[in-house]
Structure 1
Amino acid sequence: MIATKTGRVSITDMRKLLNKKAGSTIAYNLNESNPTDVEEWISTGSRWLDSIVCTGKLTGIPIGKICEIAGLESTGKSYMAAQVAANAQKKGFSIVYFDSESALDSSFLDRSGCVVDDVLYVQAVDVESVLEYIEELLGTG
């Protein structure tokens, strides 16, 4: 524990303590470069939705963040995911599509602008499996 004359610990001292304890940088000053900073975005294909995602800025989905598309049946989740995937491919990103409903077909992706040969499709059995697969893929660097 860090103690000061006033009994208060400074944010800087707490950050240093946590980083030392972890052996790597896990605590950040948000006014400096930190992992919450988003510098690049992928459009959803809808200017309206892009502006909603980032409070009025025409941006889209933040790169480097986990994003879930959820909604009721037949509300356009797959369509939006395909649009984001196509726009991500245009920026040079690889696409891994986890499908829990086994409803996706390659012609749908093709019509949405995706290069189907460059999409890895994973039929998801349950959410726990998807999380394991994502961890495995992220571990491959």
Structure 2
Amino acid sequence: IVPTGSLALDIALGVGGIPRGRITEIYGQESSGKTTLGYHLVAEVQRRGGIAAFVDAEHAVDPVYAKNLGVDVDQLLISQPDTGEEALEIVDAFIRSGAVDVVVLDSVAALVPKAEIEGEMGDSHMGLQA
């Protein structure tokens, strides 16, 4: 279990935090604290001696804000992929390596398919990004 940094949330989750070895999606409206919670998870893992990765699909990582929340930015593995496919490949590599204790992907909504970025989205790709 990785504590969230919020005792109230850990209690509400019923298990004291986010379970290890699982995919946990944190969702909410824009500016509702999803990234902040991700930073708190990273800080908690680092505080306990673990390794954390942050896959920044939004290209919006804020090192100053993260540091203010307790993240050791110098020890944080940060990746800023250009496409959704690349982001998922990076997440997969981190997980398969077994070298990291938590991977934060920020955000699923920013996972734009390569075909869309390259302007190849047509009728044959309708619904590819859902």
Indicate the TM-score class for this superposition, using the shorter chain for normalisation. Answer: 0.5 to 0.7
TM-score normalised by the chain length of structure 1: 0.62
Asked whether 1:52 is paired with 2:12, we answer yes
What aligned pairs does 1:85-124 form with structure 2 within 5 A after superposition?
85-124=42-81
CA deviation string 1:44-99 (max 9, x = no partner): 11112112222xx5x01111212222221100111111111100111221111012
CA separation in 2, counterparts of 1:130 and 1:68? 16
Compare 131-140 and 73-82 and name the one that shifted more: 131-140
CA deviation string 1:25-49 (max 9, x = no partner): xxxxxxxxxxxxxxxx111111121
CA deviation string 1:76-126 (max 9, x = no partner): 111111111100111221111012222221111110001111101111334
CA separation in 2, counterparts of 1:128 and 1:85? 23
For 1:129, the equivalent position in structure 2 comes to 86
For 1:67, the equivalent position in structure 2 comes to 24
Structure 2 unmatched runs, 5+: 99-130
Which 4+ runs in 1 deviate beyond 6 A? none
State the number of aligned residues. 98
Rg larger in structure: 1
CA separation in 2, counterparts of 1:124 and 1:49? 30
Asked whether 1:82 is paired with 2:82, we answer no
CA separation in 2, counterparts of 1:130 and 1:67? 16
Three-state SS of the structure 2 residue aligned to 1:62 is: coil
CA separation in 2, counterparts of 1:88 and 1:132? 22
Compare 69-78 and 127-136 and name the one that shifted more: 127-136
* Superposition CA RMSD, Å: 1.6
Letter in 1 for 2:76: V
CA separation in 2, counterparts of 1:124 and 1:51? 34
CA separation in 1, counterparts of 2:8 and 2:85? 33
Structure 1 unmatched runs, 5+: 1-40
CA separation in 2, counterparts of 1:45 and 1:68? 17
